[in-house]
Chain A
Amino acid sequence: MATLADKKSKKLLIINSIFILAWLIIAAFPFIWTFLGSFKVREDFFSRSDWWYVISGFHTIIETGGQYTLNAFREAWTEGEFLYAARNSVIVTFFVVTISLFLGTLGGYALSRSPYRYAFWILIAALVFRAMPHITLVSGYLFPFFQLNIWGILPTTIIVLVAINQPFTLWLLYSFFKTVPKELDESGMIDGCSHFQAFRYIIMPVMWPGVITAGLFSLMLAYNDFTVTAMLLSYENHTMVPKLANYLGTNQHEGNMMWAVSSVVSATAPLFMVVMFFQKQIISGLTAGSVKG
């Protein structure tokens, strides 16, 4: 697709490459640095004398004998109870994704096939939930949850996250189902399918691209959430992100900083994997909203 407009001078090309290279370093370097540092002891990662210690592991060699150590990870996962936090994160993420996709596909499909114009109201709900700082919603939930004695447990948090997430999921799936031609399920119904059969045998096989995109967004919301999980879960039920905040908190003894460093690495690694595999879907989801509205 080499159109006339794509030709450009050499000078511009060089400036362009330098700019992109600079940006890539800015974007990726902090993560690489933290990754490298997580295999060292505290004195190396937070060293006053020489930042090269993070690479060379000067203190790490003295303390553990090797240039790399898994101590920070081991301690955080056992002593720091990061294992439980990871388990909680998996539970919360799994249920939030499943529930919001289940409700979202059924609802989105029904709305897209309905003759009335719900689109406006879904969009408004999605916008409002997007604009509202989550903590204002949380401060609304906290008090009744205390009164009903359902504060601090995973199910309530899952419901709250689903509720916050639902309008956006619904909007995404609604616009996706709009692109699936109506004739497809109508032809099925002419052949004698019921509504549910049409959904099961005709729509379900073609809906996966949209569902995966919507699922990825619920996954990122549930996995990354700090505000809701930190406020609505009790200490022992914390997921990974609030757990991490706890390591930084009040009791700052020697090991804790490295616990936080290693848990940042443990928590981001799976996320990066997911993004690497599903990059296309995420981008298409992010742009779906913008092109239309």
Chain B
Amino acid sequence: MLPTCVAMVLFIAIPIVSIFVQSLFIEHQKPTIEMEICDPFGCKKEIGVDVEAYAALNKEKPLGRFNGFKTYIDRNHLAFKELYEGWSNSKTFSEFSSTFFNLPFYKALIFTLTYTLFVTPFVICLGFILALSINALSQKIKGPTIFVTILPMIVTPLMGSLVLFWMIDAEGIIGSTIQDLFNDPYLSLKASTKLTWITLITYGIWHHAPFAFIVFYAALQTVPQEPIEAAIIDGADRFQRIRYVVIPHLLPVAVFIALISMMDNIRVFEPILGFSAEASAQSFSWLIYNDLRNIEVMNFGSAASTSILTIIMVGILLTPVLIKTWREFGESR
């Protein structure tokens, strides 16, 4: 092809690649920062900070002191030491698990995984049922129905969760109705950890189901009619038809949806802010945000280590997909 095309390719590719490389680079360097912020003055900010010397030092070496991988294993991240101590000091398993759940990284890990594992299957099921039902509607009301159905998805998660939060708040419509039902004026969905998690998971399903619906709905249009008619002739009832003809046809689509919604669920972040659930539910994204949100004391190192750990997790999740795509492309070549 002509050089113009090559130029255009470079035009697109170079920014992407450079940004990608750049982001990798900085992430790798950053673990050295955090210890710097506290170490020279006896670590942790509780001990007063010599502002001038600190500023001078900061100016001299903005990245901070080299710290190696120590940030990764400190209390806020992988916390090997704390885990080991907790394991050897606690006599029962529950004692150990309480130590375990008090470490921020593992707390976030457990929440993120629980959230992902609960939301994803529900999203797929609800999306599939919705697609089947709406597909059966008459053409006239299909359009508006689809419009309303995708509303929860297109609103940014922060606003979506706020809208729900205001309703389930003790002073909102659902919250106060529940209080009346159980006759308990202090009952609040955000009071206990369990209820908060359930709320967040419900929100997640509400937010993601429309996406699964749309993809399933489009795939349903491609289901061939002949096998279905053949099944009818063979005496299959409606559910058997769905079970043995439609579902096998849609299986690859379901895998695709599962992947995308797992990617989205692992980075759950905005609903936590929206529901003000920071106290009982924290995700990786929230941990990073928490390290960076205060402009005066940004824990770059801590945030970067969490980022790297998150990226590794996402990478583990993505590897099978990448291999699969690679193979498919290899075959089609």
Contacts and interface: CB of A to CB of B under 8 A. Distances in A.
B22 A144 contact: yes
A250 B126 CA distance: 37
Nearest to B332: A117
Contacts of A12: 238
Interface residues of B, number: 105
Contacts of A30: 160, 163-164, 167
A286 B215 contact: yes
A272 interface: yes
A241 interface: yes
A5 B228 contact: yes
Contacts of B65: none
Contacts of B280: none
Interface stretch (A64-72, A75-83, A105-113, A202-210): A105-113
Given A5-B232, A135-B267, A290 B256 contact: yes
Contacts of A5: 225, 228-229, 232, 241
B181 interface: no
A3 B227 CA distance: 12
B152 A27 contact: yes
Interface stretch (B81-89, B93-101, B191-199, B281-289): B281-289
B318 A140 contact: no
Contacts of A190: none
A125 B149 CA distance: 30
Contact of A113 (B1, B173, B273): B1
A164 to B, nearest CB: 9
A124 B130 contact: no
Contacts of B269: 133, 135, 227
B54 interface: no
B300 interface: yes
B221 to A, nearest CB: 9
6 interchain residue pairs of minimum CB distance: A133-B267, A287-B218, A224-B156, A107-B12, A140-B23, A110-B8
30 contacts: A5-B232, A19-B129, A27-B152, A34-B166, A46-B172, A48-B170, A51-B177, A54-B173, A103-B11, A123-B325, A124-B322, A131-B263, A135-B285, A136-B285, A137-B23, A139-B300, A140-B24, A140-B304, A142-B292, A142-B298, A143-B62, A143-B63, A220-B154, A227-B285, A231-B289, A260-B162, A264-B159, A286-B214, A290-B215, A293-B256
Given A28-B151, A293-B325, 10 more contacts: A46-B166, A48-B170, A107-B8, A113-B5, A131-B317, A133-B285, A133-B314, A139-B307, A141-B23, A166-B15
